[in-house]
Structure 1
């Protein structure tokens, strides 16, 4: 399973009309392209990921599991995501978060509608 960075751009995340910080989609896409990391680390811009109170949200999926990040409000947060992805792409297996992102890690609350993820690959 390839490493994946899923960035929420749903109902709340990136919605400046609701007073939330913009999600720099073009910056992320361009960074993935410029660093040529798309084969090793997939970038997905998604609809709502769920924990809207933590906007802006990102989900990092690795072989070790899932890492949820929230309250990503500054370009430096997204730059750190790019740095993390570049590091993972070049040093397979090293998924340690940059220091600036550590305090943004959270565990989403489970609800009765949460279903297990099934990988059919």
Structure 2
């Protein structure tokens, strides 16, 4: 069994701006993500961490996948389809590891923190 620290981790921001509907941002479906992670047994292959502020608040609803030494950042997640794609991405990572394909709907949401 892989140690939990060695597993890839999906960090989903639900902090000061992300998910705050009163600030005009889409809600982060925290309970749905947690439920799906358990139901699909994703928690055995990829950690889910609901995080406080990850920074990059101008891109509200930020998620970052840490897989080995690589971090992949996405922001401006605003629909149920985006979060379904995050789940699909996690399933791909669970199967294919670092070579996992990101769903096409998420590609336009990629950003590099160094460019911010």
Considering the TM-score relative to the shorter chain, is it more than 0.5? yes
State the 4+ residue runs in structure 1 displaced beyond 6 angstroms. none
Q: Are 2:17 and 1:12 aligned? A: yes
Deviation at 1:88, TM superposition (A): 1.5
**What is the number of residues matched between the two proteins?**
111
- Determine helix, strand or coil for the equivalent of 2:86: helix
Structure 2: distance between partners of 1:71 and 1:32 = 22
Question: TM-score with structure 2 length normalisation?
Answer: 0.89
Q: Are 2:105 and 1:100 aligned? A: yes
Cα distance change, pair 109–92 in 1 and its aligned pair in 2 (3 A): closer
Q: Are 2:45 and 1:40 aligned? A: yes
- Please give the residue correspondences for 1:1-121 in structure 2 after superposition, counting only pairs within 5 Å: 1-109=6-114
Question: TM-score with structure 1 length normalisation?
Answer: 0.86
- Tell me which moved more, 91-100 or 79-88: 91-100
Gapped regions of structure 1 (runs ≥ 5)? 112-121
Gapped regions of structure 2 (runs ≥ 5)? 1-5
Structure 1: distance between partners of 2:24 and 2:17 = 9
Which structure has the larger Rg? 1
What is the RMSD of the two structures over their aligned residues, measured on CA atoms?
1.5
- Determine helix, strand or coil for the equivalent of 2:92: helix
Structure in which a larger fraction of residues adopt helix: 2
